Amino acid sequence: MVGVGEQLRLMTVHAHPDDESSKGAATCARYVAEGVEVMVVTCTGGEAGSILNPAMDRPEVVADMVGVRRAEMARAAEILGVEHRWLGFVDSGLPEGDPKPPLPEGCFALEPLEVPTEALVRVMREFRPHVVVTYDENGGYPHPDHIRCHEVSIAAWEACGDPDRFPEAGEPWQPLKLYYSHGFSRARVVAFHEALLAAGQESPYAEWLENWDTSSRPDPGTRVTTRVRCAEYFPVRDRALLAHATQIDPNGRWFQTPMELQQRVWPTEDYELARSLVGDPAQTESSEDGDLFAGVRERVLTP
């Protein structure tokens, strides 16, 4: 638990509303329960998102996707117990086709890097996180906004503590650790697939595994340094996911693996330590029972 009079702070940076609930939500809920202050930053409004839940494909929803997605995000933040900030950039959409169409003018992925970097630095200097979580250089998957989110997060991490960078964006503040979240490792999918088959149940992962291209998409699970045990908060994660009703189909693959099996087979959310200014990472990180604040607690909470 956080020491008396102290406050550890965690910031997670995401591309779209709903990303915070599908990537690291149980970790956030665990730290909130332990007294950590958690802020989710969403770079875009998700304006270009499709309606992925047939029950929400209604004219009034389509006509107000911006408002609907903002309300969904507010509900998810309430469920997780986190603070939330919008950076205010425009969803780039996921280009499809061959050849792929150009990205729309004015979208997040085409903004000059300095613009969203300053916006994130401003929020970082205000919130003063000790730990920041974002995506790796592949964005978790190759959506242009996810890749841009990585680039902006790294640029903001590097600029936040420099008094010569963005002097109008607040007093400098240096976060101590930065992680990449890795939620879709092949090992995790295989573990669920095999556990379902062993239980005599149909697996929704068979086709996914058959089409997994290891040559173009290396398994991010091989990069994990830190596994945060948070299985008891998986139900909170799922409630936050379902708050994004336009994006999450309650009958979809997300919910076809029984909760008990998830908690038993893979009770962690997984991260890669990408930057650290505290101690020796080999000493502070534990793959099987990790803490994103390892090394930070001693620095912040010790008198």
Q: Annotated binding site for Zn(2+): which residue ranges?
A: 16, 19, 146
Phi, psi of 270 (to 5 degrees): -120, 140
- Helix, strand, coil percentages in the chain from 3-state DSSP, rounded to 5: 45, 15, 45
Which residues are annotated as part of the binding site? 16, 19, 146
- Ordered alpha helix ranges (H), 202-289: 206-210, 234-243, 259-265, 281-284
Radius of gyration over every alpha carbon of the chain, rounded to an integer in angstroms? 19
Phi, psi of 84 (to 5 degrees): -140, 140
Sheet holding 131-134, edge to edge: 83-89, 37-44, 9-14, 131-134, 177-181, 268-276, 226-229
Three-state DSSP at 113 gives coil
Gap between the Cα atoms of 260 and 267, Å rounded: 10
Measure CA 24 to chain center: 5
Contacts 24+ apart (CB under 8 A), 110-118: 111/148, 113/151, 113/152, 113/155, 116/43, 116/87, 116/89, 116/148, 116/152, 117/152, 117/155, 117/156, 117/159, 117/166, 118/166, 118/169
